[in-house]
Chains A and B, each alone.
Chain A
Amino acid sequence: MIDTAKLKQIVGDLDEDQVNEVLDAFIASNPANGETLAVVEACQQGMEIVGGYFEKGEYFVGDLIFAGELLTAAMEKLKPLLGGAGTESRGAIVLGTVEGDIHDIGKNIFKGMAAAAGFKVVDIGIDQAPAAFVKTVRENKPQIVGLCGVLSLSINAMKHTVEALQEAGLRSAVKIIIGGNAVNDAACAQVGADAWSRNAAEAVKICGDWV
């Protein structure tokens, strides 16, 4: 029986070699479906450790990007074992950088981690007007909308996007999370979002708690 606590830690430590060793041995042992689900969960919980280290200033942006890739690779290994069960999406997220802003580093890190965590992510890209978010939300009916921005002006654009969703009658059906250098408590209140984060791993956890 696999030690999920140890797996969680070595994922958190970004020890790629050990993660591969452990997962390869696990797959070779022909495990039951319930065990695989526990392993998937341990890997995803390892991401929370990563988020914690980033918060403390021990991990840096490059580590977050690597963590997303590590988790994605781990999920790829485990997917064949799950067959149909356990591969349903945890929920859909419409994601984009708001109008007037072309930054996307954090958005892309979040996208990788969220997809690896089992979300279906519809990324509409950068410099997206409120109308683009409204259209995509209408088409995809996501549980969550993620708005990203680094420039101070993006807070206004986030606010307009939330208002546009409100006017389209779509606001109450979704949770909205905002991310990027510009966001904080005050910005979140001003924008009318449900949560904010400057840490991709933390943002994925918040989304996970919502669905």
Chain B
Amino acid sequence: MIIIGEKINGSIPAVALAIRERNSSFIRNLAIRQTRAGVAYLDIAAGTGPETERETLAWLIDTVQDATDTPLCIDSPDCQVLLDMMPLVKKPGILNSVSEEKGKCEALLPRIAGTEWKVIALTCDSRGISSDPDVKFDIAVSIVEKAARYGIGEDRLFIDPLITALCVDGATLSSFTETLTRIKNRFPKAHITGGLSNSSFGMPFRKAINSQFLCLAVNAGMDSPIMDPCSGAVRAALYAEEALLGRDRNCRNYLTAFRKGLFGPKNTSSGGQRP
């Protein structure tokens, strides 16, 4: 399981405040806690307007890299910003993201050819976010083919079949898993990611929905969720899921994580954040 930690995001009010105040110890703390929770990548998103996005991202990247060695996942809706940030990053990570919107693939993919950078591919286009698995699958095929032209193999792609809010879209899970299944059948080496917290947007007691979506999606083949790794409930669900799917012999990982206090009564890592 490749976990991408979502907590360093300027759309979160507490993080936006830390960014405005240049509170580096707040950001360092988020990087360290997520690293201790076992993430493979730290997502970094400015969440600011375009005028301040580059300087904000540069400051965040600098602060995080000073605190941990964890590879980064640089997050921006603007591909040019992603390209401008690449030289600041010590080792190749993930670029978040391309899609079939207006020339994003054409701007970004050639520039990561011949490198070890990976990229998240959203299965949406200028028409928006479809709930139709056929539409999303076709977009995935198109992006994989474009990447192949630049020598970017499937294993460098993190394809996102798009997780939408359950309270708005009752079919969000089935649309996600149907799309995921088709993608994995066609491109077995591609990673499957998704913004887990989207599922519980606008709902109370979000951890219940996040945990269940995670389990059902992992069961269907998701292998690289973007999530809050510090939520004890979600973490416990993930360890339980992996064990239940036969990926944790004698439940070693589950028991070790429990003894380390990653979930359960000894868990202190969530630090009073919202669930």
Contacts and interface: CB of A to CB of B under 8 A. Distances in A.
Interface of A: 60-62, 65, 100, 102, 104-105, 125-127, 151-153, 155-156, 181
B202 A62 contact: yes
B110 interface: no
B166 to A, nearest CB: 8
A195 B50 CA distance: 23
Contact of B48 (A60, A102, A126, A152): A152
Interface string B147-174: 0000000000000000001011000000
A61 B167 contact: yes
B204 interface: yes
Interface in B32-81: 47-50, 77-78
Q: Chain A interface secondary structure, helix, strand, loop or mixed?
A: loop
Contacts of B128: 102, 104, 125-127
A133 B48 CA distance: 25
Contact of A60 (B11, B47, B49, B167): B167
A61 B201 contact: yes
18 contacts: A60-B167, A60-B202, A60-B203, A61-B201, A61-B203, A62-B168, A62-B203, A65-B167, A65-B168, A102-B124, A102-B128, A102-B129, A126-B128, A127-B126, A151-B77, A152-B50, A156-B50, A181-B11
B100 to A, nearest CB: 12
A62 B77 contact: no
Given A60-B167, A102-B128, A153-B77, 19 more contacts: A61-B165, A61-B202, A61-B203, A62-B167, A62-B203, A65-B167, A65-B168, A100-B77, A102-B101, A105-B165, A105-B202, A125-B128, A127-B128, A152-B47, A152-B48, A152-B49, A152-B50, A155-B49, A181-B11
Contacts of A102: 101, 124, 128-129
A166 B254 CA distance: 61
B168 A105 contact: yes
B168 A153 contact: no
Interface of B: 11, 47-50, 77-78, 101, 124, 126, 128-129, 165, 167-168, 201-204
A21 to B, nearest CB: 26
Contacts of B201: 61
B231 to A, nearest CB: 19
Given A126-B128, A155-B49, A60 B168 contact: no
Contacts of A155: 49
Nearest to A151: B77
Contacts of B48: 152
A102 B104 CA distance: 15
B138 to A, nearest CB: 17
A126 B201 CA distance: 20
A173 B77 CA distance: 34
B199 to A, nearest CB: 13
A125 B204 CA distance: 29
Nearest to B126: A127
Contacts of A104: 128
A54 B11 CA distance: 21
Contacts of A127: 101, 126, 128
Contacts of B47: 152
Contacts of B203: 60-62
Q: Which 3 A-B pairs have the closest CB atoms?
A: A61-B202, A62-B167, A152-B49
A104 B78 CA distance: 19
A105 to B, nearest CB: 5
A196 B165 CA distance: 24
A181 to B, nearest CB: 8
Contacts of B202: 60-62, 105
A152 B128 CA distance: 18
Contacts of A151: 77
A152 B77 CA distance: 10
Nearest to B51: A156
